Structure 1
Amino acid sequence: MSFKAYLDNIQAKTGKSPDQFHKWGKDRGFSTGAGLAAGVKAGAIVAALKDEFGLGHGHAMAIVALLKGKAS
């Protein structure tokens, strides 16, 4: 499955676009827009995504990659 397919599936499940997840990450202090905020660990983001949106681990890690700026 491609990264875009992961993001498409996440959007179908949550109703949130990648841009909205960027905003979500900034609003919660997880990211700066240029990457993760200092001291933020992927596990904290994954836990928040699982709790707030019901995402599985793989989909949550895709959002972490998005917030890190490693994927577009």
Structure 2
Amino acid sequence: MSFQAYLDNAERQTGITPRAFLGLAAEKSLTKHGDVVAWLKTEHGLGHGHATAIARLVTKGPEFVAAHHTDGVLHLDGVAARS
């Protein structure tokens, strides 16, 4: 599964876009990978793989993720924004 697919599936499960998750994590001052994963699992019901993908996005930033885990394109505004 591609990194983008993990983000898209997490959005489908929660109704929260990747960009919104970035904002929510910032509001909670979550910066450590393990803390982000735990929050996503307990408060949003995500499984480990999906929580880990979003945690990487939160802790490393969109630019890093786009450069290292995609073909340079990362969609953060949700699946509907691409339709």
RMSD, matched Cα: 1.1
Taking the aligned partners of 2:35 and 2:25, their CA distance within structure 1 comes to 11
1:50 positional shift: 0.5
Taking the aligned partners of 1:21 and 1:15, their CA distance within structure 2 comes to 10
Identity of aligned residues (%): 49
Gaps of 5+ in 1: 31-35
Write out the 4+ residue segments of structure 1 that deviate beyond 2 Å after TM superposition.
none
Q: TM-score, normalised to structure 1's length?
A: 0.80
Equivalent position amino acid for 1:62 in 2: A
Contact 2:36 2:55 in 1 (8 A): yes
Deviations 1:16-72 (Å, cap 9, x if unpaired)?
A: 001101101100001xxxxx3xxxx31111111101111111111101111121314
Q: What is the 5 A alignment of 1:18-57?
A: 18-30=18-30, 36=31, 41-57=32-48
Counterpart check, 1:4 vs 2:4: yes
Q: 1:66 is matched with which residue?
A: 57
Residue correspondences, number: 63
Taking the aligned partners of 1:26 and 1:44, their CA distance within structure 2 comes to 12
**Which structure has the higher relative contact order (CA within 8 Å, separation 6+)?**
2
